[in-house]
Amino acid sequence: MVDRVAGSRSRPSPVSPVSAVEVAAVRQPTVRAHLLPPRVFHDPTVLAYEREAWFGGGWVCVGREEDAPARGAYFLAEVAGESVIVVRGDDGQLRGFYNLCRHRGARLVEASEPCGRLVRFQCPYHAWVYDLEGRLRPPRHTEALEDFDPAEWGLVPICLAKWQGFVFVDLSAEAPALSAFLGDLPPLLERFDLGGLRRARRITYDVGANWKAIVENYEECYHCPGVHPQLNRITPYDLGAYLEGEGPWLGSYMEVVGDFETLSLDGATHGRPPIGGMRDEDLKRVYYLVVWPNLLISLHPDYLMTHWVWPIDSGRTRVVCEWFFDPATMGRPGFDPEDAIGFWDLTNRQDWHVCELQQAGTRSRAYTPGRYSAIEGSVHGFDLMVADRYANDGVTTVVERVAKQTITRPTATRTARRREAGAVTGQ
């Protein structure tokens, strides 16, 4: 399932600009906890730390295997301020390299060519050539150099591993194996062949909000009745359950009610069959997963949607949203995914609007960290992952959501219990 290909250079651990004291109010049971300090949504030094320690300090998903499908196919990703090349070699293996030439350090593949196919890498500056496995061919006019062996001057490799078609890189070269990092997530999703799905569409959004505000937003459906009336009629905000398991991820599902079949503009699948591995109960659910730090996986009965949440600066985020379908379904005459894409494009834009409102309001001197409602336990779960990593004190706060049981619509007998109950996640 996963393989670890190569190592790369490690750097000294950055010092957290957010203390354990600052986040102590987050590290409480949900019923007592406060939201994250507003500074972490606005302070550039906080984002610089997050980039270095989190995005550059362990596994981060950068794309899909299908983005480099054949020998010489490559794509670029930007992680922790580094340009990364992911390329498929002549031996069919995917590899990661820093996007720089070992001579005078020029960027090897230019940002204007973010994906494509090559037979080799040739530096645009003095034309040093590297093969698809990163080996340097003996450059011109270096024969007389002393103590210079081209074999030692190949591209700098980056650890790379794959899971369910997702490609992860680890710039630190110190993370545990990807399978260990993901914990209980792989067995939870192993019945689905997500790696066999193919992308039908990608939409990239430029959102005026901190990246964590966007993940928080994904983690709850408290806002759904007001913000997403179209979604809320298909998957009501208070129907669903958390998924249990260890690892740096959070999961839940929401229930598809009535005659609706999926999340689309009219709630219908338009004849798209379920994707492989779906059990009966899955056909009336939409699963939502956050994989630390910035991959959001939304699994519908008939399609997969992903969001990659990439910070640009403290108040700006690039969100890449992609829709995937079974290739056999895509090959059918008349295949048209616009009902699913249009639904989520609308929902995404509704979300970005309120995230931008949050970004604006939390900048005010009048804002103090708010409180989690009883149905935002999974926002708290994400914030605890954030707070523990700021504190960096070796403590992993147990997610003390006020309830982990199936969330159901309150009835006369259940109302009292639900007043103390936790939340379900969603959009």
Residues that bind ligand FES (CB under 6 A): 101, 103-104, 106, 123, 125-128
CA–CA gap between residue 220 and residue 115 (Å, rounded): 34
Q: Measured from the CB of residue 84, what is the shortest distance to ligand FES in angstroms?
A: 18
- The one segment of 208-216, 247-255, 318-326, 345-353 that binds Fe ion by CB under 5 A: 345-353
Q: Measured from the CB of residue 125, what is the shortest distance to ligand FES in angstroms?
A: 4
Which of 116, 115, 121, 118 minimizes the C-alpha distance to 134? Answer: 121
Of 83 and 425, the one with the shorter C-beta distance to ligand FES is 83
Q: Measured from the CB of residue 207, what is the shortest distance to Fe ion in angstroms?
A: 12
Q: Is 264 near Fe ion (CB under 5 A)?
A: no
Q: Which does 123 bind (CB under 5 to 8 A by kind): Fe ion, ligand FES, none?
A: ligand FES
Q: Which does 101 bind (CB under 5 to 8 A by kind): ligand FES, Fe ion, none?
A: ligand FES
Of 74 and 128, the one with the shorter C-beta distance to ligand FES is 128
CA–CA gap between residue 426 and residue 239 (Å, rounded): 10
Q: Measured from the CB of residue 100, what is the shortest distance to ligand FES in angstroms?
A: 8
Q: Which does 317 bind (CB under 5 to 8 A by kind): Fe ion, ligand FES, none?
A: none
Interface with Fe ion: number of residues (CB under 5 A): 2
Of 128 and 325, the one with the shorter C-beta distance to ligand FES is 128
- The one segment of 84-92, 254-262, 343-351, 365-373 that binds Fe ion by CB under 5 A: 343-351
Q: Measured from the CB of residue 221, what is the shortest distance to Fe ion in angstroms?
A: 7
Q: Measured from the CB of residue 356, what is the shortest distance to Fe ion in angstroms?
A: 13
Q: Which does 148 bind (CB under 5 to 8 A by kind): Fe ion, ligand FES, none?
A: none
Neighbours of 328 (CB within 10 A): 12
Residue 50 contacts residue 94 (beta carbons within 8 Å): no
Q: Is 50 near Fe ion (CB under 5 A)?
A: no
- The one segment of 86-94, 332-340, 344-352, 371-379 that binds Fe ion by CB under 5 A: 344-352
- Site residues for Fe ion, window 10-49 (CB under 5 A)? none
Q: Is 351 near Fe ion (CB under 5 A)?
A: yes
Of 306 and 397, the one with the shorter C-beta distance to Fe ion is 306
